Chain A
Amino acid sequence: MLVLEKRPQPSRAWIAATPVLAVVLTMIAGGLMFAALGKNPVEAIRIIFWDPLFNAQFASYARPQLLVKAAPLILIAIGLSLGFRAGIWNIGAEGQYIMGAIAGASFGLAFYPTDSVLIYPGMVIAGGFGGWLWAMIPAILKTRFRTNEILVSLLLVYVAEKFLASAAVGFLRNPEGRGFPGSRNLSQIESMNNPELIAGSGMHWGVVTAFIVVIMAYVMLNKHMMGYQIKLAGQAPRAARFAGVNPTRLIVLCLGISGALAGLAGIFEVTGPAGQISIDFNVGYGFTAIIVAFLGRLHPVGILLAGLLMALTYIGGELAQLMLTIPASAIQAFQGMLLFFLLAVDVLSNYRIKLKREGIA
């Protein structure tokens, strides 16, 4: 009989190896799923993971997309990972992302058609602020009334989606848009545009911010008191209290940072790749970022890599949709599977599997 024996220390080797193992297992299970859909599994996996990067025909389009899609995922996931480490579960990043986008776009459009270099930075700040504000709702309810932040932050996603619908057809609707829903096209307005900084690279301000945030998070977690407190609160809540960690402050900070980063991701998206506020500009990055955070083992560098990999599944998924008519939902199921396998194989980092013969006490 197989039994699990707890390791005194989590195995460092397995901590690094489990994400890779999970990806391999997901490829196998995903291949089976594609085979069940009547597609060639090997070809499907190749199209998703290999062709966007190395196929001469697609790479020129797909490679820049990698950074474009990874940036919001990384930004959001870094924020989430801080809270997850401390046992604070913000799962409503999608809502904070939407609210950040709306706040930033509203700020910019309020000045339309003024042209100033200050408008874009103002929009970015407003975007971060919008996401922060939306995350403060679960934070304050949690600290004042002990309300479960998981449920509140998630329910607020639906509220944000309704608000987005009313913004797109109401106060942000393009007055020159012949009554169609959606705001003015921000990416075509000089002062509100988030352009590609180096042609053909996909690099835009959001990507730059994501890289900076990765470095800042790394420094904070390893060199700063705050990072120590976050880790301590997650691993030993009682010890953290005795060490003088203020739980209220930690909740407000973790939710606030993750909300602000999600809001930033939102404003960079609507001024760049998405281009405008529309009813469905959000494509679920806020939820996928949860997978990215875990796949990256809640570590900034890991999240950077995980974000790139998850971006690859988005791009490869689109390609597979085009080439093999694999439905987009299959990719969503594929991403969900990845998180399952990750959580499942994680047992190897914390436990040793031992063979125990029946009958021996």
Chain B
Amino acid sequence: MGIDPVTLIAALIVASTPILLAAIGELVVEKAGVLNLGVEGMMIVGAISGFAIAVNTGSATLGFIAAAAGGALLSLIFAFITQYLLANHVATGLALTLFGLGLSALLGESYSGISPPPTPSLNIPGLSDIPVLGPILFAHDAIVYLSIAIVAGVWAMLKYSRMGLIIRAVGESHDAAHALGYKVIRIRVLAIMFGGACAGLGGAYLSLVRVPQWTEGMTAGAGWIALAIVVFASWKPWRALLGAYLFGGITALQLRLQAAGIDIPVEILAMSPYLITILVLVIMSSDKNRAALNAPAALGKVFHATG
């Protein structure tokens, strides 16, 4: 049974990137006190809009830009209904997922069975030729590095910048933030759009790099797993990276075990990413103090300014 650890780790990073992108976006959204359960819907709309633009223009880069725009655009519907029309976050997020799945299937009618233009790897001369470390660290495409840069950026922004402080204030107590004169609604809408753009990018990474093809419902729960990873990460950016890579590792490993024909039924292996996500959620939530301490206090609460 040959499972080469170097290619496994390289595959792990590719498998993790879509979820990492979606998770880091949702992390910012939740930090601002908004629970958007529409990640799955925004991801799949990103997947098809990125795919369609990339196929039509022949440029994967334009595809990724379109995917981010598509995800952000879709998230605006959620932002409008929850922030201005004060609807329940959970129900609206579900609506976003249901609508996104239908809309993406509709947009994708004529795109199945086509190959997208390739996304070039940034083969850094010299570095990517180093044995072992080269293929793992230096032979990926730009989006992989972008996703890590976004994690670092979000971490620094939340921790050190004034903007991060405001986002956290809005997420912990919208009434206090409002009283201090911050535009709660505007900040939340921007956070939601950032989350949408990230989810869209993640979706496009699935359809343009990971698979790479368009099939209906291809996200297969990746958006929900991203939501679980935010909980796993206790709303900390670097932990989200760890969670996404752990999850990607399991996915990559189970696919290789399936291919290697190991003596475990294929269905059990295919279930394993979901089961392990549930297990991780249970472990994280069973610790009462930790779970309660880190969740933004105003998460999922509707804000209506009076007076």
Contacts and interface: CB of A to CB of B under 8 A. Distances in A.
Contacts of A151: 224, 227-228, 231, 277-278, 281
A159 interface: yes
Interface of A: 4, 6, 89, 91, 141, 144-148, 150-152, 154-159, 162-163, 165-166, 170, 287, 290-291, 294, 327-337, 339-340, 343-344, 346-347, 350-351
Identify the 6 closest CB pairs spanning chains A and B, nearest first: A336-B99, A332-B102, A329-B105, A333-B102, A166-B267, A339-B95
Given A290-B94, A343-B88, A155 B225 contact: yes
B91 interface: yes
Interface in B241-293: 265-267, 270-271, 274-275, 277-278, 281-282, 285-286, 288, 291
B130 interface: no
Nearest to B228: A151
**Which of A4, A89, A155, A332 is packed against the most chain B CB atoms within 10 Å?**
A155
Given A154-B224, A155-B228, A350-B86, A336 B103 contact: yes
Interface in B15-66: 37
B98 interface: yes
Contacts of B96: 340
A152 B94 contact: no
B106 interface: yes
Contacts of A328: 105
Nearest to A329: B105
B133 interface: no
B99 A337 contact: yes
Given A166-B266, A339-B95, 8 more contacts: A150-B37, A154-B221, A329-B103, A334-B102, A340-B81, A343-B92, A343-B95, A347-B85
Given A4-B86, A150-B90, A327-B106, A332 B101 contact: yes
5 contacts: A145-B285, A158-B271, A290-B94, A332-B106, A343-B91
Contacts of B228: 151, 155
Contacts of A330: 102, 106
Given A290-B94, A329-B102, A165 B109 contact: no
B95 A340 contact: yes
A225 B232 CA distance: 38
Interface of B: 37, 77, 80-81, 85-88, 90-92, 94-96, 98-103, 105-106, 109, 216, 220-221, 224-225, 227-228, 231, 265-267, 270-271, 274-275, 277-278, 281-282, 285-286, 288, 291, 304, 306
A165 B267 contact: yes
Contacts of A157: 221
B278 A152 contact: yes
B100 A336 contact: yes
A163 B288 CA distance: 32
A158 B282 CA distance: 18
B77 A340 contact: yes
Contact of B282 (A89, A145, A163, A331): A145
Given A89-B90, A159-B274, A344 B85 contact: yes
Nearest to B105: A329
Contacts of A162: 267, 270-271, 274
Contacts of A335: 98, 102
A197 to B, nearest CB: 32
B87 A339 contact: no
A91 B87 CA distance: 18
Nearest to A294: B91
A45 B185 CA distance: 36
A330 B108 CA distance: 11
A155 B224 contact: yes
A336 B100 CA distance: 8
Contact of B271 (A163, A291, A329, A343): A163
Given A147-B285, A336-B98, A343 B85 contact: yes
A332 to B, nearest CB: 3
A300 B227 CA distance: 32
Contacts of A156: 274, 278
Nearest to B37: A150
Nearest to B281: A147
A6 B288 contact: no
A347 B86 contact: yes
B285 A159 contact: no
Contacts of B304: 4, 6
A37 B291 CA distance: 47
Contact of A333 (B87, B103, B288, B306): B103
B34 to A, nearest CB: 15
A151 B274 CA distance: 10
Nearest to A347: B85
Contacts of B267: 162-163, 165-166, 170
Contacts of A91: 94
**Which of A6, A151, A170, A335 is packed against the most chain B CB atoms within 10 Å?**
A151
B91 to A, nearest CB: 6
Contacts of A337: 99
Contact of B291 (A146, A158, A336, A347): A146
Nearest to B103: A333
A141 B286 CA distance: 9
A85 B87 CA distance: 15
B281 to A, nearest CB: 5
A65 to B, nearest CB: 21
A350 B270 CA distance: 45
A290 B96 CA distance: 12
Contact of A329 (B37, B106, B306): B106
A141 B231 CA distance: 15
Given A332-B101, A333-B106, A347-B85, A146 B286 contact: yes
